[in-house]
């Protein structure tokens, strides 16, 4: 039977429709994507530490312009399904208070133990959150005190001093424009302030300088260099040290020195690195494995490790620390730079011992944990 041109055309159209049906849903979604307007990403979210607090304050200014009603001595503004309660004086909530409204307090705020505030709070004065209470987020123009075992579900932002009590937890950013004090066993994800301190805070600490350590090993090697036997006796094999550029050297394998190190150039260690007590690192140090800095050392360059980093007692750093694993700051560690903020970040936990002071930011992919007063990072006995 002969096939006419019209029949062939119809068959071709039928096959084309069958094939298109396989891609119909994907084509429909593609058309929807073309019609949608892309969401605007506010770059300040990642560049500005106090983004959440400032954004909340700005939104409140608009919300408070809306008409409201007087209720129980305060002003209530309804915005959709939300209620914004403004109190024009100081307020003290009794224990076990439960509040589901956005709260604006023109004076001071305090609450008893075990309260639950499931929406944001803004306080123009000072603020004290009672022990065991749970707060969604809070912005304070004065000082903010979180008593023991308080939980902040999101962020907290204060112009004054932020005092985080024993066992308290902040699950997002915490910012103070004055100082943050972390009590033992307190936990935060990110904390930023001109001064972040654990117990035994001393304001003069940021201006103290440790005594100059005794230097035994220099990288790059001085001219004339010490004997090969002397270097190997101190833990440095010259055969493993290679020059990559004018300002960078490479050490192949683990570097475990038995004498203090003075680092005058950038150094990459293809393995683990141990710097003894009293070392002076004037340039950046990168380790593919773990990195341990001995007590009383001074670090002027950046410290980076793919594994864990441990800073010994009374050490100093003045730039960036980045640990691919756990970061441990020993007691008395000082992070300070005259003209800039310093940063210590860990992909894992960041443990902070007693007496640590940092001008800048502590952050962790897990938690920043303030250890007990007699504790040292990673120890079970506290010593």
Task: Inform me whether the pLDDT recorded for 68 exceeds 60.
Answer: yes
* pLDDT for position 44: 62
What's the burial of 153, exposed, middle or buried (CB within 10 Å: 0-12/13-18/19+)?
Answer: middle
Q: What percent of the chain has pLDDT over 90?
A: 60
Asked if residue 241 lies in contact with residue 259, where contact means CB atoms within 8 angstroms, the answer is no
Phi, psi dihedrals of residue 11, rounded to the nearest 5°: -65, -40
- The tens digit of pLDDT for each residue in 169-228 reads 999 999 999 999 999 999 999 999 999 999 754 443 444 444 444 446 888 888 887 777
**Is pLDDT at 254 greater than 80 in this prediction?**
yes
Task: Look at residue 377 in the predicted model and tell me its pLDDT.
Answer: 41
CA distances from 95 to 50, 92, 176 (A): 30, 10, 27
Is the pLDDT at 15 greater than 60, yes or no? Answer: yes
For residues 74 and 245, the model is more confident at 245
Q: For residue 333, count other CB atoms closer than 10 A to its CB.
A: 27
Q: Is the pLDDT of residue 66 over 90?
A: no
Q: Tell me, what's the pLDDT at 220?
A: 86
3-state DSSP: the chain helix, strand, coil percent, rounded to 5?
Answer: 15, 40, 45
3-state secondary structure of 44: helix
Of 291, 298, 300, nearest to 214 by C-alpha is 298
Binning pLDDT at 50, 70 and 90, where does residue 12 land?
Answer: confident
Looking at the predicted structure, is the pLDDT value of residue 39 above 80? Answer: no
Q: What is the mean pLDDT of residues 34-50?
A: 65
pLDDT digits (tens, 9 = 90+) for 88-123: 789 999 999 999 989 999 999 999 999 999 999 999
Mean of pLDDT values over 73-79:
74
Q: Which of 28-32, 103-107, 207-211, 375-379 has the highest mean pLDDT?
A: 103-107
Partners of 59 in beta bridges: none
310-341 residue pLDDT tens:
999 999 999 999 999 999 999 999 999 998 99
pLDDT of residue 228: 77
**How many helices, marked H, and strands, marked E, lie in the chain?**
5, 37
Return the SS3 of 28.
helix
User: Which of 208, 210, 211 is closest to 359 using CA atoms?
Assistant: 208
20 vs 154, residue with greater confidence: 154
Where is pLDDT greater, at 68 or 190?
A: 190
Whether residue 92 contacts residue 127, with contact meaning beta carbons closer than 8 Å, is answered with no
Burial code (b: 16+ CB inside 10 Å, e: under 16) for 225-262 equals: ebeeeebeebbbeeeebeeeeeeebbbeebbebebbbb
DSSP conformation class of 256: E
Q: Give the closest residue to 318 by CA, choosing from 339, 304, 332.
A: 339
Pairing relationship of beta strands 316-317 and 127-129 according to DSSP bridges:
unpaired
Q: Please tell me what DSSP assigns to residue 52.
A: H
**How much is the pLDDT for 36?**
67
Query: How much of the chain exceeds pLDDT 70, in percent?
Result: 87
Taking only the tens place, the pLDDT of each residue in 132-143 is 999 999 999 999
Average pLDDT along the chain: 86
Q: Does residue 285 surpass a pLDDT of 80?
A: yes
pTM over 0.75: yes
Asked if the model's pLDDT at residue 380 lies above 50, the reply is no
């Amino acid at each position: 039977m002969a096939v006419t041109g019209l029949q062939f055309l119809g068959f071709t159209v039928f096959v084309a429709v069958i094939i298109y049906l396989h891609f119909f849903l994907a084509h429909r979604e593609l058309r929807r994507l073309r019609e949608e307007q892309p969401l605007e990403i506010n770059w300040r979210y990642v560049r500005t530490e106090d983004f959440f607090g400032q954004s909340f304050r700005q939104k409140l200014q608009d919300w408070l312009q809306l008409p409201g009603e007087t209720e129980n001595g305060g002003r209530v503004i309804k915005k959709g399904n939300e209620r914004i309660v403004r109190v024009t004086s100081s307020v003290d909530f009794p224990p076990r208070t439960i509040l589901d409204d956005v709260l604006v307090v023109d004076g001071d705020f305090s609450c008893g133990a075990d309260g639950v505030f499931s929406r944001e709070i803004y306080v123009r004065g000072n603020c004290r959150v009672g022990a065991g209470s749970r707060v969604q987020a809070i912005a304070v123009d004065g000082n903010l005190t979180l008593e023991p075992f308080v939980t902040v579900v999101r962020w907290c932002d204060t112009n004054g001093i932020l005092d985080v009590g024993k066992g308290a937890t902040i699950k997002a950013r915490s910012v103070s424009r004055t100082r943050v004090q972390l009590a033992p066993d307190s936990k935060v994800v990110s904390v930023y302030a001109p001064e972040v301190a654990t117990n035994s805070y001393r304001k003069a600490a940021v201006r103290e300088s440790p005594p100059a350590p005794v230097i035994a090993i220099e990288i790059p090697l001085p001219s004339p260099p010490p004997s090969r036997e002397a270097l190997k006796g101190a833990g440095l094999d010259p055969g493993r040290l290679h020059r990559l550029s004018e300002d960078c050297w490479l050490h192949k394998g683990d570097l475990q020195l038995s004498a203090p190190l003075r680092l005058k150039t950038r150094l990459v260690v293809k393995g683990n690195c141990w710097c003894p007590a009293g070392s002076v690192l004037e340039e950046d140090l990168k380790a593919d494995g773990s990195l341990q800095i001995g007590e009383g050392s001074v670090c002027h360059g950046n410290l980076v490790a793919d594994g864990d980093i441990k800073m010994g007692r009374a050490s100093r750093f003045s730039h960036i620390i980045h640990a691919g694993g756990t970061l441990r700051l020993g007691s008395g560690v000082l992070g300070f730079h005259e003209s800039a903020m310093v940063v210590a970040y860990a992909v894992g936990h960041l443990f902070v011992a007693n007496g640590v002071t940092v001008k800048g930011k502590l952050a962790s992919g897990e938690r920043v944990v303030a250890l007990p007063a007699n504790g040292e990072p990673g120890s079970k006995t506290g010593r």
